[in-house]
């Protein structure tokens, strides 16, 4: 099983990502539109992988990821953003994909970081 936390404030894109990730092998999902929601979702169920936009309606994806990693430990992250230059901190091993992003790119990045089961 691979549980993915999708941090994205555009609902249609979040559902598109869910479809792409399910096709790549993800088995369950949680969604968050804000920094605080993302942290709450990660506390409720530890994600195996996180996908995150950078700029959110409230807060940022990188800040949410920083709090999550501080609380629960390392989690593979794929940033999918229209503003890759503002992705900070988005240090390796995090992947950064620029929107618009191709389905194949998302699946490939997921397969690289997803835990092997």
**Closest residue by Cα to residue 69 from 49, 95, 98, 97:** 49
Pair of tokens at residue 30: 């949680």
Q: What is the pLDDT along the chain (117 residues), one digit of tens a residue?
A: 899 999 999 999 999 999 999 999 999 999 999 999 999 999 999 999 999 999 999 999 999 999 999 999 999 999 999 988 888 878 777 899 999 999 999 999 999 999 865
DSSP string, 71-103: HH----EEEEES-GGG-TT--TTSEEEESS--H
| Closest by Cα among 57, 61, 59 to 75 | 61
Q: Which domains does the chain have, with CATH numbers?
A: 3-113 (3.40.50.2300)
Global confidence as pTM: 0.95
């Amino acid at each position: 099983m691979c549980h993915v936390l999708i941090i994205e404030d555009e609902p249609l894109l979040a559902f598109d990502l869910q479809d792409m990730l399910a096709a790549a092998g993800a088995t369950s999902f949680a969604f968050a539109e804000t920094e605080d929601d993302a942290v709450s979702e990660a506390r409720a169920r530890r994600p195996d992988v996180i996908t995150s936009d950078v700029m959110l309606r409230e807060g940022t994806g990188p800040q949410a990821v920083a709090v999550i990693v501080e609380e629960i430990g390392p989690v593979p992250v794929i940033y999918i953003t229209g503003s890759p230059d503002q992705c900070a901190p988005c240090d390796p091993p995090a992947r950064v994909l620029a929107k618009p992003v191709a389905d194949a790119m998302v699946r490939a990045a997921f397969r690289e970081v997803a835990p092997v089961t």
